[in-house]
Amino acid sequence: MSDFARRFANNGGAAAGAVVLLLVIAAAAIGPLLYTADPLDMLGRPMSRPFGEFPLGTDVSGRDILAGILHGARVSLLIGIVASLGAGVLGVAIGALAGFYGGLVDDALMRFTEFFLTIPSFVLAVVIVAIFAPSVVTVTLAIGLVSWPSVARLARAECLSQRGRDYVTACRALGMSDPKLLVVQILPNALPPVVVIVSLTVATAILTEAGLSFLGLADPNRVSWGYMIGVARSSLRVAWWMTAIPGTAILITVLAINLVGEGLNDALNPRLGQR
């Protein structure tokens, strides 16, 4: 862990991304407690400019944009993290079974995975959310269901590379059962690259949620950054700040997550530890 922390801290971009991400998480956790305005209440004149009565102005309905940013951070991060964790668990389970057992199990699971890969992920997410009532749960499930195939393919490749190694042969000779061998021995060695791709999936999930919200496929009772952009798109020419502010929040958060993901990739790569 000390070597991991040292390699991660030595990566300037990753350290900066981690600091920014922690600030975003802190704003999401503490901000609504300190700034108690309701993001759905009409509190002032519509489309008022920033740095006036309201720090970041108001939207087309007179709702406080700063309140929307703080509350929207909770929703966007929640959807991104939960959807990515769900995609990671499902992808690892399918990929690990396919890579460990091979043969017919591998063929069946990979054909199932490839079926999902043939459908554009965003289109599939739109269809899933459109079929069911748009809500935070529906959007989270939709994003998780379209994000797991890439995790599954990587987990399969890692398990394939691990199952032929000497420590696996030694465990089989000692009589270790297949489930225990897969969970206790192979998965811990195969997970580092998977952790990296799951962390990067958080950024993709936040962008997907923003796209769905922009199209109106979002929970109307919860404010997210994508929802704020969608509400303000009709007034882009006359009140650009209403889309620029939540758009900048998405940009900064996604960039920070990508930097952290690259830092994890470098820190978890065992070859770097040998330099």
CATH number at residue 191: 1.10.3720.10
The pLDDT tens digits of the residues spanning 198-240 come to: 888 998 999 898 888 888 887 888 888 888 888 888 787 888 8
50 domain-assigned:
no
Tokens of 120: 């554009």
167 domain-assigned:
yes
Domain that holds residue 185: 2-37+62-273
175 domain-assigned:
yes
**Inter-residue contact 213 to 134 (CB < 8 Å):** no
110 domain-assigned:
yes
Tokens of 77: 């991060």
What pLDDT score was predicted for residue 275? 43
Question: Which contacts (CB < 8 Å, 24+ apart) does range 100-104 have?
Answer: 100/159, 100/163, 100/178, 100/182, 100/186, 101/178, 102/160
Of 31, 49, 15, 96, the C-alpha closest to 259 is: 15
* pTM for the whole structure: 0.85
Buried b (16+ CB within 10 A) or exposed e, 143-171: bbbbbbbbbbbbbbbbbbebbeeeebeeb
Tokens of 149: 């195939």
Kindly give the parts of the chain with pLDDT less than 50: 272-275
Question: Cα–Cα distance between 12 and 270 in angstroms, integer?
Answer: 19
56 domain-assigned:
no
What pLDDT score was predicted for residue 37? 87
Of 199, 208, 170, the C-alpha closest to 186 is: 170
Tokens of 139: 């959007």
Q: Structurally, how many domains does the chain consist of?
A: 1
134 domain-assigned:
yes
One-letter amino acid identity for 133? A
55 domain-assigned:
no
The DSSP result for 37-88, as a single string, is --TTSB-S-TTPPTTSSSTT-B-TTSBBHHHHHHHHHHHHHHHHHHHHHHHH
What is the maximum alpha-carbon separation in the chain?
75
**Inter-residue contact 82 to 99 (CB < 8 Å):** no
SS3 content of the chain, % helix, strand, coil (to 5): 75, 0, 20
54 domain-assigned:
no
- DSSP label at residue 134: P
Residues present in the chain in total: 275
Tokens of 34: 């300190």
What pLDDT score was predicted for residue 1? 59
The pLDDT tens digits of the residues spanning 92-130 come to: 999 999 988 888 999 999 999 999 888 888 999 999 998
Q: Is 257 exposed, middle or buried (0-12, 13-18, 19+ CB in 10 A)?
A: buried
What pLDDT score was predicted for residue 181? 87
